[in-house]
Amino acid sequence: MGSTITLHNVAKTYPGGQPALRRVSLTVAAGEFLVLLGPSGCGKSTLLRMIAGLETITEGELHLDGTLANDLDPSERDTAMIFQSFALYPNMTAAANIAFPLAVQKQDPALVSQRVESAAHALGIGHLMNRLPGRLSGGERQRVAMGRATVRRPSVFLLDEPLSSLDARLRTRLRLEILSTVRKSGATTIYVTHDQSEAMALGDRVAVLRDGILQQVDTPRILYTLPANAFVASFVGTPRISLIHGTVHAPIDGAMAISLGAQQLSLPMPLSRDHQMLRVMQGSPLLIGLRPEAVRIAEHTRATSFERPLTGIVEHVEFQGHETLLHLTVGGRPADVPDQTVPGPPSRPARGSAADLARRLAQRAAGLSPWQRRPSEPHHPPATAVPTGPRGELVVRAGNGGFPQRGRHLPLLIDVRGLFVFDARGERVSPDPTRIPDL
Ligand SMILES: Nc1ncnc2c1ncn2[C@@H]1O[C@H](COP(=O)(O)OP(=O)(O)OP(=O)(O)O)[C@@H](O)[C@H]1O
């Protein structure tokens, strides 16, 4: 059975260096498959190596099954670690390599050969058992390495980009084999990768790291649908979410709208609770996030009650084989993910009834002087308007209606229920904000 791994405010600073990890708190349940995801240098390997006992912990506590493990020797932790470049013993056959950890423990030879056989069978390498590593392909060697790690039946598997040196097809196949092998063993697994599609495919939950700070730990579905911030939103999902600078227009006596620069999206009435909250963001710089599935290419007359019209100009056509992506100019300014800020305590929990929120919003609106109120503006320009601004800031999937030429004007419909709104720090304010700003 797998161990529970608990990190409590764990930090790491290498001698003479910047902090590689800052106060990371995380619990991995027994038997869970957790993926650590983040860009190069964000601290993934450091965290894994600290759990394995290969790196000291500067601050904080690591518990394995409830026991403080900061100072335990690696051999006392019952973990097995697999690296990208896992070295096999070159002069030993695949079978001897797999058997090695048990041979060192002087286990009963009958048990050893039974375990080796079962590991080889599970990994589909039974026919390679008499070969030396030099006569195996990269993928076969990695399977032997997996066999060597699983044969001891550890409580915890720590996998550090084990497949990144393999080609895409083999990677996809082997990751399924890894998943099934560790699932069968019941061990707790932490799998490091910078490949978001691998993370989404494998993880029961995915922990996203950036600059040594844990951004979010959630199931792949929640990471995608409710990213905590613009960094997570842009790191997870292919094609990447389009982020555009925007503002909220909230006239007292008119419909609320989100401005994307040259064009606007009016919000459906009655306003949803999420959209009501956006009223208080009026005047603040925001990042508007649109995933391709919130946008369709269709005549404006075909809009449903949740869709709003926009016009885009085709800037670039990207053929991907299984799909074609269009990069469109809509007259907005593309936004970068804001720089990392160390998360502080929430300013105010986003709880409270919708009625309470509405009352506070009404109070705020009543306090505005007339010159602060904006006249209502048209919600979108005529379809013929040519947006200006930087190029190709909105990425959408081309439908089956052929691939439009560069420069062509396309009618778009945006499902405003699929809008993401982030504040200037990059934190999500819609949908379902994790904090609400002071009114
Ligand atoms: N032994 C070391 N001494 C000093 N600094 C180190 C050491 N190992 C890592 N670092 C630094 O700590 C930070 C985190 O490194 P780490 O290897 O954990 O990142 P990573 O997310 O695993 O990166 P990658 O995906 O490129 O392997 C980086 O800034 C790195 O330069």
ipTM metric = 0.98
The band of 371, judged by pLDDT with boundaries at 50, 70 and 90, is very low
Give the Å distance between the CA of 37 and the centre of ligand 1: 14
Output the pLDDT for position 355. Answer: 45
Give the Å distance between the CA of 171 and the centre of ligand 1: 24
The band of 436, judged by pLDDT with boundaries at 50, 70 and 90, is low
Which residues line the pocket of ligand 1, CB cutoff 6 A?
Answer: 14, 17, 20, 38, 40-46, 194
Give the Å distance between the CA of 148 and the centre of ligand 1: 26
What would the mean pLDDT of 335-339 be, rounded to a whole number?
Answer: 84
Output the pLDDT for position 168. Answer: 82
Residue nearest to atom 30 of ligand 1 (CA): 41
- The ligand 1 atom at the shortest distance from the C-alpha of residue 212 is 14
Q: Which of 24, 37, 46 to mutate to test the pocket of ligand 1 (most atoms within 8 A of CB)?
A: 46
Q: Which of 21, 24, 44 to mutate to test the pocket of ligand 1 (most atoms within 8 A of CB)?
A: 44
Q: Where in the chain is the domain with CATH 3.40.50.300?
A: 5-225
Residue nearest to atom 16 of ligand 1 (CA): 43
What would the mean pLDDT of 39-45 be, rounded to a whole number?
Answer: 94
Domain covering 5-225, topology = Rossmann fold (3.40.50)
Residue nearest to atom 1 of ligand 1 (CA): 14
Output the pLDDT for position 233. Answer: 96
Q: Is the pLDDT of residue 19 over 50?
A: yes
Output the pLDDT for position 438. Answer: 54
What are the tens digits of pLDDT across the range 159-178? 998 888 778 888 888 888 88
More confident position, 38 or 377: 38
Residue nearest to atom 5 of ligand 1 (CA): 14
Token digits of residue 317: 């056509």
Give the Å distance between the CA of 5 and the centre of ligand 1: 22
Output the pLDDT for position 368. Answer: 37
Residue nearest to atom 4 of ligand 1 (CA): 14
Give the Å distance between the CA of 214 and the centre of ligand 1: 15
Residue nearest to atom 11 of ligand 1 (CA): 20
Q: Over pLDDT 90: what percentage of the chain?
A: 59
Output the pLDDT for position 383. Answer: 36
Residue nearest to atom 8 of ligand 1 (CA): 46
Residue nearest to atom 20 of ligand 1 (CA): 41
Output the pLDDT for position 224. Answer: 96
Output the pLDDT for position 364. Answer: 43
The pTM of the full predicted model, rounded to 2 decimals, is 0.85
The band of 354, judged by pLDDT with boundaries at 50, 70 and 90, is very low
